[in-house]
Structures are given as structure tokens and as C-alpha cells.
Amino acid sequence: MNKNTFALRPPMGWNSYDYYDTTVNEEQVKKNADYMAARLKPFGWEYVVVDIQWYASRPGTMRDKFQYIPFSHLEMDEYSRLIPDPERFPSSAGGKGFGPLADYIHSLGLKFGIHIMRGIPRQAAHLHMAVLGTDASADQIADAHSICRWNPDMYGVQNTPEGQAYYNSLLELYASWGVDYIKCDDICNTNNQPYSPAYPGDPFAGKEEIAMLAKAIQHCGRPIVLSLSPGPALIQEAWYYEKYANMWRVTDDFWDRWDLLKDMFRRCQIWQNHVSPGCYPDCDMLPMGRIGKGFGQERDSRFTYEEQKTMMTLWCIFGSPLMLGAELTMLDEQTLSLLTNPHILALLPLPARQIRLTEDEAVWTAVNSETGERYLAFFNLSDEERTLSLSWKEFRDSAAQIPDCAPSRLLDLWSGQELPLSGQEISCLLPVHGCAAWKL
Amino acid sequence: MNKNTFALRPPMGWNSYDYYDTTVNEEQVKKNADYMAARLKPFGWEYVVVDIQWYASRPGTMRDKFQYIPFSHLEMDEYSRLIPDPERFPSSAGGKGFGPLADYIHSLGLKFGIHIMRGIPRQAAHLHMAVLGTDASADQIADAHSICRWNPDMYGVQNTPEGQAYYNSLLELYASWGVDYIKCDDICNTNNQPYSPAYPGDPFAGKEEIAMLAKAIQHCGRPIVLSLSPGPALIQEAWYYEKYANMWRVTDDFWDRWDLLKDMFRRCQIWQNHVSPGCYPDCDMLPMGRIGKGFGQERDSRFTYEEQKTMMTLWCIFGSPLMLGAELTMLDEQTLSLLTNPHILALLPLPARQIRLTEDEAVWTAVNSETGERYLAFFNLSDEERTLSLSWKEFRDSAAQIPDCAPSRLLDLWSGQELPLSGQEISCLLPVHGCAAWKL
Amino acid sequence: MNKNTFALRPPMGWNSYDYYDTTVNEEQVKKNADYMAARLKPFGWEYVVVDIQWYASRPGTMRDKFQYIPFSHLEMDEYSRLIPDPERFPSSAGGKGFGPLADYIHSLGLKFGIHIMRGIPRQAAHLHMAVLGTDASADQIADAHSICRWNPDMYGVQNTPEGQAYYNSLLELYASWGVDYIKCDDICNTNNQPYSPAYPGDPFAGKEEIAMLAKAIQHCGRPIVLSLSPGPALIQEAWYYEKYANMWRVTDDFWDRWDLLKDMFRRCQIWQNHVSPGCYPDCDMLPMGRIGKGFGQERDSRFTYEEQKTMMTLWCIFGSPLMLGAELTMLDEQTLSLLTNPHILALLPLPARQIRLTEDEAVWTAVNSETGERYLAFFNLSDEERTLSLSWKEFRDSAAQIPDCAPSRLLDLWSGQELPLSGQEISCLLPVHGCAAWKL
Amino acid sequence: MNKNTFALRPPMGWNSYDYYDTTVNEEQVKKNADYMAARLKPFGWEYVVVDIQWYASRPGTMRDKFQYIPFSHLEMDEYSRLIPDPERFPSSAGGKGFGPLADYIHSLGLKFGIHIMRGIPRQAAHLHMAVLGTDASADQIADAHSICRWNPDMYGVQNTPEGQAYYNSLLELYASWGVDYIKCDDICNTNNQPYSPAYPGDPFAGKEEIAMLAKAIQHCGRPIVLSLSPGPALIQEAWYYEKYANMWRVTDDFWDRWDLLKDMFRRCQIWQNHVSPGCYPDCDMLPMGRIGKGFGQERDSRFTYEEQKTMMTLWCIFGSPLMLGAELTMLDEQTLSLLTNPHILALLPLPARQIRLTEDEAVWTAVNSETGERYLAFFNLSDEERTLSLSWKEFRDSAAQIPDCAPSRLLDLWSGQELPLSGQEISCLLPVHGCAAWKL
């Protein structure tokens, strides 16, 4: 299997983290899936992803002190593999794992994804538990010196035949459940947070486990999309992510703050040459709609409407995966309209390049190489209303193979309206943090 | 002008540095150009490049202490622009600069290139000399704190309108001479050498001057290829080099040592996704044939014949510019044959990917997207004879769009012979540091 | 000469920088000396120091763009040695240098100091000027790659016999003038400012020139105090400063801001074990009274009266040199009283140790090892009134050889009043940023 | 208790590590103690120290793969405190811990020390075991993110009241056993080894636990010497080590290699100003005599006799603790003579300073401030015979308070012979890596 065929365009879906943190349960996942099937699927949205600590008992009950309670009980099978907490995921009882939930989601015409942490449970190592298909026990494949900086659940797995056997056994289990997508954490950049300053460390310490996971996916025979977290991914290792994974986070956790959104333009700048079918630099989840409940900060997104349009436009023209953070059942119509604009979503698979980035503005272009149609997007990054302009000469100088044109009509992607145009440049007044996007 | 149209395939040529160091003169340049026109031009070789300190008086006369004599006399015009040393380049006398030499080279059907240092001469700043087209003097555009770590000739130029005017005036002069190619030094990585440990510094301190040069080229109106030195270029700034330059060095000075050649595989690995028309990561000059005279170490290349084949094959399949370091008039027939193999040179413009890199071996593949023809190269990086193998399954898994094939014939690129083939893999015994390359 | 005998207690004096920046002239220096002789000398103040660029023409005339005008005219003698600008220092005309001014200051019973930059003038190198007592010229001893990060006047000097001869010739000249104190800049930490991010560099790049200066002082035969700037000095090189110099700055330029003063407690903490006769970590000048004129910010010190007491108490108990930044002729009586308290100044030469440092408070103790008298100082570092306490048990545990005492009387050093005391601890309410100091 | 009174001169003793690695047992400890009492005690040797993993079952049985077997059984009491492995230390059975062994050693007139790792056993945390005197369990005081880079036994302890209670309970237990000396590991520099490159980390991550241990010692009421490992200690934190500990390692593990011994001169250079009663920079154990058995490399020390003299002379004049690594029962007479020279050992408590350090030689001086007697040591660091000289002028210039003397007699410390002397300097021919030491 060539992994680039697993996701021929940037994956679109929903992820439980932004609203539920560690606490999501089966009923909640199903309701979000139902909503997606009913309202979003026609526009390309298809993945339903259960995020972190679905294997933990009573997560979130010490939220003032810990996001992840150290040394707490984790549900495991006899082979050192984590399985769903049966209290929260009742259908998993009796060794069925996520199979029934995956079946339900598949029955809606959607795909099912789960989050995992790099490694093997610490508890399995200290209890010397078994590893399927080997004579080794967990303590013999765990690396007692390889820990996550921000989550206490796991030890890294040694790159040995027995270690590979463990990852193979994991993926066999997930494949048997019907998992379509794995978001593996503590692996893309193992140094992402200032949580434990004692270990600033090598940000690429999970490198070998990326390849081990990729091999385990090949071994299991199911085309499971591999998504790597957290960011920022290391630009100097771009070729490695592109060889083994389908998507990798270019940012630490992204939330509804303008400084983070503005900063994403800088990230897209350096990653713009690294988007291709099966290879997607990932701008992280879209914190739109209703979010934050599991974090004790339930709220409507702090982004303005203009900022949300800017976010959607950037993610789409750049070619990032689109993962909704919102509780879908609470989506308002305005937010829904931002997620279902076919003109904007049409940008998603097209190759694109940045033409300009300054402190105050950004300009991007994309092309449909089959039709030759060209697209332009303007972004106002300043804190004031601002008129952006681009001369056709600068546009032509910016990229090879742009014909010597001065178009006379534009299609405004957000409104769907056609506009007349004349002269040697295009110019547009944009609101604070706002954007415009056109097909030429 | 779109700069990607200035060099639609990796430039091929000759550079004076590896043999002459700082000392080359007009007669020597012409003889090398004559040889190129006679023997190499039919195979695509076309650039003749005069390397560093063509403006210096009596360079090389303190070679035991200095490569670049500090505070020595540099030939300048009235506008703070360096011009050729008339003792070494007699045709430049009377203000003609490199015009006559460029004319001669053009008359041979070749192209002419020169080396420059980033910045404005220190002497011009201390003498308060004029800057063409401005009221400013050199001391007003020089940055007294921006110096090169290894060459004492220049101060960096401030990114101001007057600073840009200086670079514009430089490029106008070079364009008037007929220069086709500029190799700018101390700009790609300003921190490349451990020469002055006092200033390890920001390796991208020349960033703004890269853009200033690119603008000056646009301003002069002549499609001058822009080559940036020294390396290693910063992979995290790849998008920036790709925006402004045509080639950038991915290595510090490359010489005839196996460890450096072996290391180049690692460099090509991380840069493999960054080769495209007009954008060439540069593996540096080919230290083949007769080299080293100006350094007081005149010699035949220390590379074995097998290593030279490996070098040529890697540079070609990767898509690096090819710049000969040898004194051409002393080329032996065997070396010449390595430079004029049409099958190997045909790889140069094709997109390629690494399939495998270990301590002991490397495998690359390239494709001609017009004809669909596929190429394979095997490299033995170990210090012993070694059999390399690739199964057709691994070949197919390595890249999308490879058909499910098990070819029955191969063309050996170095020998030009067709070979029969059978079975599920290709396997080959290679000599120490040797290689093989085929068209499937 | 043992350099530790040149300054048996921390030097006390006045420095022109805080008020005049680069612009001070002879008349101004004399007036400050007159004031010192009249009002401060009886309390131990004795050095009068002319700070940076006394050799520059019209310094300060481009103050909006440059503190130090690049490539401007510097007054030199025929041997590449800077001499005073005769416009500002008329008595220096005719080759007399600072001799007449030094004589005047000596006639007042005071000592004379000057500031120098590490190195040899860049202009001398580019003009190939002579070096006294050698056949070498300035270009041959200058290091074209050794520049200051923030001042454009000099190149570093190579550590060769000819380089040493240059420093010897400098010190001979200064000794002939009657200089008692040299503050050498760009030498203690050559990496102190974020001015030129291109060269973050080795902060100890001036290391060899420290030893060269020390040798030149031994060679000249005059016991000239050697003061090194700027800071922060490198604590890991403490033994080196202690071997060659008399004082070294533990901080970058210190100004009248509470954050800088509060931060000084952390600096004194790490340097507390490094104060001994002839060896003084230097907390920098005291920005009290009238300051800032040359910087275009003439003002009374922004420090409150309590902060000024805190500063004086810390500098004295720690054992820092005391250099006044104020224009002395404008000193108000309250400030004067802070500079002339004999009880506080008596702390200056005594060995001391920190007992406590938290975010909110500091406690120090000193001992007069001849009399056995012990001293205590409390500092309120918080932004609120605060009661500090120290139990006699903690006091005894803090240092060996403290007798098991619970004193019954205290002398308040600032007020000079005796206070009764009882109980197992000492406790005191201090105003915001205030302090108290006692003899037990 | 003032901790500086716990060890008024540098501790001298024996440590089990260099010969036994992790494997020493009770019988072996007692035999070494017997030897010390009989042959070394009269010269000041007094500490007997049991080094790492005395709590581990069958340590050393996987020595080809691990020095410290991960996830193996560690002997603990009910309060999460490690106790001796009863198989190796039979007298500890029945909850007696090291009490009986300490009694035995005390009965010989010697002192008893043990090694500990920073932190609480990982196993105690995963088993949620009790912490004496608190309601907390081990998982609640362990820091799941604080691990040692090279040993898998422990988690760091949080700096909370419950965490402090754990360290207090540890020291109470040790005090009840009669422990006189604790060597705490993974605390002085937590970043000392390149073992786990994933976590280069903050080398001072154990900082708070140093203070917690010091407080626990004060709390237990027994004057237990606190020794911190491993090195290199951070010179910039010197004041902190001096405040809380008695000795701290200035080097990573020191072994019988000349490059390490030569390098120690550089370490002594930077630490020379930091030796005082109760405060000892520690050059690590003396790998003399028979060593290496537990490492599978049993051997006589690879140091030559001259190198061993150089080592002893440097450790003594610098003032390092002296800890023998040799198996004492196998000591040969020549080695014994190096350990029992009263003239050399007399240097140990005297303040000393380095006069010179070059690539080829070192010169140190010490003074007995009570008698005024001065000492000199010469070291030949080159790989050839070499004559070292020191003029009396350089000697006087090197330090204050040296009288203007040119002594006429010397006592050679190693031979005990008096020598006549004349002239303005002292000069001596030294063998390769050899030394000489005199009383003036």
C-alpha cells in the first residue's frame, strides 16, 4: 500500500478535544456523528475522531491540578494494549473495544478515528505484562528513560523486533475494530510544551516510533490515515514526515486567539512547499462554535466572524486538514455556513503559494492545474481596516506559468457573486482581521 | 521577469576556485573557456565563472598566513564598486571592466559568471566614497557591525533606499558587462566556518541582502542567474531561497574527501523535495581532474574513479548544478568521459526521490514525467564490496503512481548496455564507494 | 607589583557617563572634580573618570540615529593611539593629552581615570599607521574579524608581540599623563547587548586582551586600577577576572529602574563569594541625582528615596565599587546625605554574605573580622509595606563562627540611633522597596 | 547546626564503586573497613561508603545490557523507603537496615556512609504506597515527569510539605542507623551523561531537592555530611552548593585515564576560589590500586606511578575530598605509600591558588596562614620530560602578602628531604606527567 493513497485530499472531520478535553463518552460521540452525517457529509466532512484518554477512568475529576491524573487506572487488555473505559464506552464491554462504535459510524457513511499516545503504558511495564506474539514482557520493550513531557501514561517503545511486534499488535487490534484514522500524540515534536523544563530535549525523540507505526499500518493491511501530534513539526525533518505520515501538526495546540491565528500565516509560509496528495501539514483543529467545556471554560469561540472566515480561507487555500473542534449539536447557522461554502472548500486540494507576507497583510494564490483556473486570497492582518492591492505585474512575477493577463471578471468565493474588474491591479478594502477570496 | 525562467535546468559550467583559489587571470579564464567550447559544450556545459577576489592586487602572496590579505588594496571605481584587477585582467583597463572578457566568452557560445561578496568595500566606507544615483556616501549605507566571518573585504549594506540603490548600481554595471550569472558569497549561510569563534552568530544575517540582490536583478532587466554561497543553506528557510534565488549551497566547501561525499547523501535526503525548475539546491563544485594549485596543493583529485562516478550520479539524479573545479586544459580522457556521458546527464532535470539511506547504502529513483520512463540508482556507501537489492514491492510502496511492474530489461546508464532481468527484485554487486544506475 | 594592592578597598568616585553620555568636556570635568574635593573627598570619594569617546569630534550630534557615529573622525597620534578631542579638551593641545587635566585633579588630592575601548582604531588599520616600538603597522596587529557589537571605532588587537607592544605603548602614554584608573569597555562581556543579532557570539572573546592589558600595566610600572566593562561578567570565569583585573561589571548598564535594582540582588547572590581586596564585582554606577542630559533625557533619578537607600545599602554591604553618575554640581542635600553616611560607608570593605533571598525580601550580614562586630541588613523587595523577621537561630545557622547570641542593643546605621532589643528574633516593618541596616 | 562544622577538612575515605560497581556485599565492606582501621586510619582516612544500588536484588546480572536493570525488584519498607538487599546485607534482616553494619564500622573508630538516588522509587508510586507521617501516598509526592537520565529506579519528589516529609522520614531512618555521610546522586548535575539524548535538559533540575535534603539533615539532628553527585557541578551555582552541601563533584565519573587527570587541572582552576571549611569541590574517587571488577574490567590502575603522585598532589593542594576506589585488601605497598605521606596530606586543609596553567605545565601554591609556611607544586602536563621554572618575582606578583623572599632551603614533600637553593628562581626537571612539591 502506498500511504499517499490513504488520503488523496486533506481529511475533513470532527474531533472531541476542543469541547470535551479528556471526558467524551459514547453517546456524545454518536450525537456528533449523527449531526455530521445529516448536515456536513454532503460537503466532504467524514472523519469522527475520539481524542485523548478514552482508556482512563474518571478523567477530568482533578482538573484543577492535572489534565492527566498521574498513576491513575488505565483500562488494558492482557497484552499491554489500552482499551476503552467501559464506563464511558459501554458498547466496548466484553472485549469488543471500539468495534461497535466504529460500526455505528461506518453505518452513517462516515469514518472513525482515535487518538493514541506514543508508547506502552507505564503500568504494563511495572507489572511485567505480556506482549502479543512475543516472549517478551512489557518491561523488556519499554524504554524507562523515554517519557512524555506532559502526559504520564506511557513509556516509549524500543525499536527492536519485540517493540515492532507490540506496535503491530496494536494496529491489528485497531484494524479489527475498524479504525480509519489514528492521531498519535507525543511523537511529531516531543518537546512542544514548557511543562517540564527539566527536559527541553530533542524534539524528534519519537522519530523511530513514527516509522514503527507506519510499518505497523502496512503490516495490518488496512489503509489507516496516520496523523502526528503535537506541533510544531520540524521543518528540517519535512522529508521524513512526508515519507511516513499523512499529516503532521505545524503548531502547538491552536485555540481561539488572534495572535495564534496571525502566527499561522508564518507557519504556512514555511510549509507551503510541502503540501501534496497524502502529505498534509496540519494547522490543527478549528476552534469555532461551542468549545471548552471539558477545560472548565465552556464558551462560544472567541474568534470574530471575520477571523473565522480568515481561518477557513487560510486552512483551505493552504491545504490543511480541517477538523472541527465545536460541539456539533450546538452549531449555529452562521458558523455552519462557514463550514459549507462550496467555493471555499473547492480550494482545499489545489496547490497554492504565498505571494506576500508582511506584518499587516498576506496574499496567496492557488491554481487548478486541470482547468487552469486561478484563485487569489487577500488577508488583512492589521488591527485596522486596510486596503490591499496586487498589481498584475507582481502577480505574474510571483510564479512561473501565469499568463500575461489582466482579468475583467472575478468570482467572489464567499458571496458567490461575480464582479467586474479593470485596470492593472486588484484592490480591496478589508475589515479588521478580515479576508477576501476570488476566482479569476 | 520570473526568476525561475532564468535557469530551466541545473546550470552546468566551470569555476576557477578549485584550481586557482584567488589567483586566476584573464588568459587562464580564456583557455578554460576555449576548452569548454571545444569539448564540453555539446553535452550542455555552458557557464564560465571567475571566482573570488578578481578585484584584489597580488592575492595569494601571503598564502601561508591569509587566504584573503586584510586591509590590502582592492580595485574600485568612483562609486564604491569593485572592478577587475587590471594587472590580472588587462582587457578591463580603461573602465571596461569584465565587458571584453564576457564578449569573448559569449563569442564562444558560452555564458559568463562572476563571484561577489555580500556588501560594500570597507575601504569605501572609511574613505566616504560616493554611491551612484544617491546623495549618500558609502559610510552611510555600510553597516559597520555587519562583517563576514572569513573575508575582511566588505561591510554589509543596510536595507534602505540608498542601500538598494547601491545594489542596483552594481547590477547595472554587471549587466552592462554582460554578466549572466552571479555567485554571491557570505550570504546563504553567514555562519558557515569556525574561523572566528567570537561570532558564531545568526546564520541568516544576510537574509535581507538576498532580497535586495533579487530586486536589483529585476531592476537591471537582464536575466542573471543568482547563486548563493556558502552552505549549508538552512532547510528551514527553503521557501525563502526558492522565492529569491536560483541555486543555494547545501554544504560548506566541498573537496575531494570521501567523508564529505558520503555526507552529501544526507544533505540530498533533506533537500530532495526542494528541487524544481529555477530552484536548485547546490552540492558545490566537482573536485575532479587537476585541482588545488592556488592553495599550494596542486594534485589530481583524491577521489577514486568509483567515487567520481558516485559523485556524478548523485549530483545528476538529485538535480544539483554541475560546476567543474578542474583545470580544464589538463583534463584526462577518463575524467572527461565521466563528464560527457549522455545517459547520466539525462537524469539532471528529472524529478527524483530517495528510496533508502542507511550507513551503508543509498537508493534513488527518478522519473521522466513526459515519457513515464523510470530510473534507479544504487550507491555502496560502505568500505567494502556490497550487494544491494531492491524488491519491486518496496519500489512500488515507495512512491505513488508506480505501476505494478517487474521489468524484464534494463539500460545500464554508465555502460549504455541493455541487460535482461527477471524475478521480484533487482540486485547488484557494487565495488567500494561505487554505484550503478539504470533506466527501467 | 601585585595588582591586588592597587585598590585595597572598593574604589569610590564619579563618572561622566550617566549625565553626559559621549559629550563631556574639560570644564565640566573640572567642575565635578572641584565639587568632589570640596564635599565628598572627606568620605572617601576620590576617582574622577572621563567616560567614552573623549577622542571623538562632535559626538552626540546624530543622537537620534547613533550613540556612536560610524566612520567619524577620531583624534589619533602618529602611533595609532587615540588622544583627546582638542575642541572639548583644550589643555590637551600640542600633544599634552590628558596630562594637564590629570595634574589638575591630582592637585585637588583626587585620582584621574579614563575610559577606553578594547582594540586599535579601525581607521588606523585602514590607513596602515605605525605602532610605537615595532616595525609593524596597525593593519598588521588589528584583527579584521574582531569588532565590538555596539561601537564602531575599533578592531581587536592580536595577541602577538607586536600586539602586546601596542598595548604597552598605550599604557606608557596613559602613565605619562598620570592616569590612575582605566575602565576598558567591550572586554568583560563582548556579547552584552542585543544590538547586532548577527553576532551573538562568544561573550569572552576579549579574554586575551584582558591579560594583555594587565601585562601592559605591569610593564608601565604605574599602579593603574583596571576596571572591565560591560557586564554581565561571566561567573564561570570569575577566577580569571580575579587574576587580572580589579573590578568587573556584573550587570549590563544599570539605570534608575526598580526592576534593574531588584535584579541586582540576584547578581550579588551569585557573586557574593568573589569579593576580596583588589577584586571587586561591580554593580555599576549609581544613577542618583541629576542624570541623562547627553541622552536627551535630562532628569532627576527616577528612584524613590527609599530605593536610593536600598541601592546604597546593597552596594556597600556587598562591597561594590561606588561610582556616582550624577552631575555633582547639581546634587541636592538629600542625595548628598545618602552619599556621606559614615555608618553605611563603613560596610564597604567588610566581608559579607547573603542569608536569604526570595521574591519579596533579602537579608545580608557582614562582619568586621578585626573587631568582631556584626552587621545586618533587611531589604523589602515587594511592592507593599512588609515586616521582615530573622530569628537568632537562623542567623547562627547561616554562618560558622557566629556566637550564640541574642543581642540586646542595635545601632541603626542610617539614623545613627541606638535601639533596645529583646526576644529570639529581630523584626522590622519596611516601606515599599525600603531597607534597614544595623550594627549588632 | 551549621553544616560547615560537619566536615572541617576534606573528607577522606573509601568507596565501593570503583571496584564493585553495584555488587558490593556486607562481608566485603567489613573487610575494607578492617583494612582502613589497621593501616590508613592513622593518616586521617575515616569514611567507609557503600555506593549505588545496595537495595537492588541481583544487581550486575545483566551487565552486558544494563548497569541498572530496569523495572527490577527493589527492597522497600512500608513507607516507600529503600532498605538494604537482605541477600547481600544479611545483618539488615528484620528491619535493622544498615544499623548493624554502621555499628561495626563505628566500633573500628571509623564513619559510615551510603549512596542514595534523588527521589522516591517509581515502584512505590505505581503501587500507591504510604509516606511516613503524612496522609499522602507515594504517587501523590512523586513527580511523574522527573526521572534520572541514566538510572531507572526513581521519580523526583515534589517540593511540597508532603515531599519534605518524605525526605525527613528518609533522614530519620538513616540517622537511626547511624549514617554519617550521604552521597546523593542525580542531583548535582542532572544532565551529566549523554545516555538519553532525548532529554539533555536542565542540569540543575535537582536544585530544590538539594535544599530539601539539607533541611531533612537539619531536621534529623545528626551532623550528616552531604555529598552531591554527579558532576560537573555548575560553577555559576557555586554559592548554592556552598550554602547547602559539603561537597559536590566537579567532574563526571573520573577514571584512570591521563586525559581525565589532565583535564582536572582545568576544573581545579575554575573552582580554586571555592574551597573553604565545610565546602569542598570534589575531584571524585582516586582510581588507584585494584579496581574495575564489577564492571567486568578488573585491573590494576592504568595510571603510572608518576601520574598517581600527580593526582595525589593535585587533590591535596587543591583541597578535594579523598575517596579511595581501590579494593583495600589488595593494596600494594607502593600505592599504600602514596596514601600515607604525611607531608603531602598536610596540604589538604590549606588554602591554595593556581599560579600558572598552560597546555604543558601547572604551578600551584598553598599557605599555612597560622605558621606562614608556603608551599609550591610543579606539574609536568606534557608528554615529555620537562624543566619547569618559577622566578621569585612571578611568585610574588601572583598573590598579595607574599614577602619579598628568595628562600635558601626547601623541603621536598614526597621524599622528605631538605634541599639547598639559590638564585632568583626555582627550576626542576620533571618526568612525563610527573610533579614535585616543596615547603619553602
| Type of residue found at A81 | R
Write the pLDDT tens digit of every residue in B107-124.
999 999 999 999 999 999
Of C198, C200, C201, the CB nearest to B146: C198
Contacts of residue D227, Cβ cutoff 8 Å, sequence gap at least 6: D11, D113, D181, D182, D183, D184, D245, D246, D247, D248, D282, D321
Contact A400 B278 (CB under 8 A): yes
B270 to A243, D54, D139: CA distances (angstroms): 11, 48, 44
Q: Using a CB-CB distance cutoff of 8 angstroms, which residues of chain C are in contact with residue B122?
A: 126
Question: In the A/D pair of chains, how many CB contacts fall below 8 A?
Answer: 77
Report residue A405's pLDDT band, with 50, 70 and 90 as the boundaries: low
Write the pLDDT tens digit of every residue in C11-42.
999 999 999 999 999 999 999 999 999 999 99
Contact C195 B145 (CB under 8 A): yes
Report residue A149's pLDDT band, with 50, 70 and 90 as the boundaries: confident
Q: Does residue D399 register a pLDDT over 70?
A: no
Q: Using a CB-CB distance cutoff of 8 angstroms, which residues of chain D are in contact with residue A123?
A: 126
| Type of residue found at B206 | G
Judging by DSSP bridges, how do beta strands C322-324 and C352-357 pair with one another? unpaired
Write the pLDDT tens digit of every residue in C341-367.
999 999 999 999 999 999 999 999 999
Contact B70 C139 (CB under 8 A): yes
| Closest residue by Cα to residue C296 from C21, C2, C13 | C21
Write the pLDDT tens digit of every residue in D259-315.
999 999 999 999 999 999 999 999 999 999 999 999 999 999 999 999 999 999 999
Spatial distance between the Cα atoms of A314 and A344, rounded to a whole number of angstroms: 10
pTM of the full predicted structure? 0.90
Q: Does residue C250 register a pLDDT over 60?
A: yes
Contact D400 C2 (CB under 8 A): yes
Spatial distance between the Cα atoms of A348 and A317, rounded to a whole number of angstroms: 6
Could you check whether the bond before residue B230 is cis, i.e. omega within 30 degrees of 0? yes
Report residue C317's pLDDT band, with 50, 70 and 90 as the boundaries: very high
Judging by DSSP bridges, how do beta strands C111-117 and D435-439 pair with one another? unpaired
E-state strands within C279-360: 280-282, 290-291, 299-300, 322-324, 352-357
Q: Does residue C165 register a pLDDT over 70?
A: yes
Q: Does residue A90 register a pLDDT over 90?
A: yes
Spatial distance between the Cα atoms of D347 and D317, rounded to a whole number of angstroms: 5
Q: Which DSSP string do the residues of C208-256 spell out, in sequence order?
A: HHHHHHHHHHHHH-S--EEEE-SS---GGGHHHHHHH-SEEESSS---S
Write the pLDDT tens digit of every residue in A29-53.
999 999 999 999 999 999 999 999 9
| Type of residue found at C362 | A
Contacts of residue C18, Cβ cutoff 8 Å, sequence gap at least 6: C285, C287, C291, C292, C325, C326
Residues A98/A103/A109/A115 CA torsion (nearest 10 deg): 10
Q: Using a CB-CB distance cutoff of 8 angstroms, which residues of chain B are in contact with residue A273?
A: 238-239, 242, 273-274
DSSP SS3 for B249: strand
Neighbours of chain C (3+ CB pairs under 8 A): B, D
Give mean pLDDT, residues A276-305: 97
Give mean pLDDT, residues B376-395: 95
Q: Using a CB-CB distance cutoff of 8 angstroms, which residues of chain C are in contact with residue D7?
A: none
DSSP SS3 for B138: helix
Q: Say how many C-beta atoms besides its own lie within 10 A of residue D9's C-beta.
A: 14
Which of the two residues, A369 and B55, has the higher pLDDT score?
B55
Q: Does residue A198 register a pLDDT over 50?
A: no
Q: Say how many C-beta atoms besides its own lie within 10 A of residue C111's C-beta.
A: 20
Q: Say how many C-beta atoms besides its own lie within 10 A of residue B60's C-beta.
A: 19
CB D411 within 8 A of CB D353: no
Of D71, D128, D145, the CB nearest to A144: D71
What's residue C192's pLDDT? 60
Q: Say how many C-beta atoms besides its own lie within 10 A of residue B337's C-beta.
A: 11
Give the phi and the psi of residue C130 in degrees, each rounded to 5.
-80, 160
Whether ipTM > 0.95 holds is no
| Closest residue by Cα to residue D383 from D359, D362, D356 | D359
Give the angle subtended at the CA of A353 by the CAs of A350 and A356, to the nearest 5°.
145
Name the residue in chain A with its Cα closest to that of B214: A397
| Closest residue by Cα to residue D34 from D114, D107, D87 | D107
Spatial distance between the Cα atoms of A329 and A290, rounded to a whole number of angstroms: 9
| Closest residue by Cα to residue C22 from C190, C130, C150, C146 | C150
Helix H segments across B7-160? 17-20, 26-35, 99-107, 122-126, 138-141
Q: Does residue A193 register a pLDDT over 80?
A: no
Q: Using a CB-CB distance cutoff of 8 angstroms, which residues of chain A are in contact with residue D198?
A: 145-146, 190, 199, 201-202, 205
Q: Does residue D195 register a pLDDT over 50?
A: no
Give mean pLDDT, residues D115-136: 97
In chain B, the percentage of residues whose pLDDT exceeds 70 is 96
Q: Using a CB-CB distance cutoff of 8 angstroms, which residues of chain B are in contact with residue A354?
A: 239
What's residue D421's pLDDT? 86
Give mean pLDDT, residues D203-222: 94
Give the angle subtended at the CA of A45 by the CAs of A39 and A50, to the nearest 5°.
100
Q: Does residue B69 register a pLDDT over 90?
A: yes
Write the pLDDT tens digit of every residue in A199-235.
456 788 899 999 999 999 999 999 999 999 999 999 9
Q: Using a CB-CB distance cutoff of 8 angstroms, which residues of chain C are in contact with residue D235?
A: 235-236, 238
C-alpha cell recorded at residue C192: 552584552
Contact C196 B123 (CB under 8 A): no
Name the residue in chain B with its Cα closest to that of C190: B198
Spatial distance between the Cα atoms of C285 and C291, rounded to a whole number of angstroms: 11
Residue from A215, A242, A243 whose CB has the most chain B CBs within 10 Å, to mutate: A243
Contact C199 B145 (CB under 8 A): yes
Contact B270 A235 (CB under 8 A): no
Write the pLDDT tens digit of every residue in B18-43.
999 999 999 999 999 999 999 999 99
Spatial distance between the Cα atoms of B235 and C425, rounded to a whole number of angstroms: 63
C-alpha cell recorded at residue A383: 488591527
Contact D239 C269 (CB under 8 A): yes
Of B125, B128, B197, the CB nearest to C202: B197
DSSP SS3 for A259: helix
Of C218, C242, C269, the CB nearest to D273: C242
E-state strands within C124-238: 142-147, 154-157, 181-185, 225-228
Instruction: Spell out which chain D residues touch chain A, with contact meaning CB-CB distance below 8 angstroms.
Output: 70-71, 122-123, 125-126, 128, 139, 142, 144-147, 149-150, 152, 190, 195-202, 205
Give me the long-range contacts of D333-337 (CB less than 8 A, separation at least 24). D334/D305, D335/D288, D335/D289, D335/D301, D335/D308, D336/D39
What's residue A423's pLDDT? 85
Give the phi and the psi of residue D148 in degrees, each rounded to 5.
-80, 145
Strand-pair partners of C157:
C142
Give mean pLDDT, residues B246-262: 97
Name the residue in chain B with its Cα closest to that of A214: B397
User: Cα Rg for chain A, rounded, in angstroms?
Assistant: 22
CB A126 within 8 A of CB D122: yes
Q: At what angle do helices D207-220 and D161-177 cross, to 10 degrees?
A: 50
Q: Does residue A299 register a pLDDT over 50?
A: yes
Q: Using a CB-CB distance cutoff of 8 angstroms, which residues of chain D are in contact with residue C396?
A: 2
Spatial distance between the Cα atoms of B419 and B426, rounded to a whole number of angstroms: 12
| Closest residue by Cα to residue A132 from A165, A174, A96 | A165
Reported as type and span, the H/E element at residue D344 is helix D342-345
CB A75 within 8 A of CB A86: yes
| Closest residue by Cα to residue D237 from D168, D187, D167 | D187
Cell 565635578: give the residue: C32
Write the pLDDT tens digit of every residue in C263-284.
999 999 999 999 999 999 999 9
What's residue C287's pLDDT? 98
Contact B236 A239 (CB under 8 A): no
Compute CA B301 distance to the chain's CA centroid, rounded to the nearest angstrom.
Answer: 18
Report residue B387's pLDDT band, with 50, 70 and 90 as the boundaries: very high
Could you check whether the bond before residue B100 is cis, i.e. omega within 30 degrees of 0? no
C110 to A65, C47, D219: CA distances (angstroms): 63, 6, 55
C-alpha cell recorded at residue A400: 512561473
Q: Does residue A399 register a pLDDT over 90?
A: no
Reported as type and span, the H/E element at residue B225 is strand B225-228
What's residue C408's pLDDT? 82
C-alpha cell recorded at residue C6: 592597587
What's residue B400's pLDDT? 58
Contact C270 D235 (CB under 8 A): no
| Closest residue by Cα to residue D132 from D203, D231, D223, D219 | D219
Contacts of residue D401, Cβ cutoff 8 Å, sequence gap at least 6: none
C-alpha cell recorded at residue B49: 565563472
**Least confident interval from A84-93, B388-397, D385-394:** B388-397
Strand-pair partners of B352:
B366
Spatial distance between the Cα atoms of B410 and B413, rounded to a whole number of angstroms: 9
Contact C270 D2 (CB under 8 A): no
Contact D197 A205 (CB under 8 A): yes
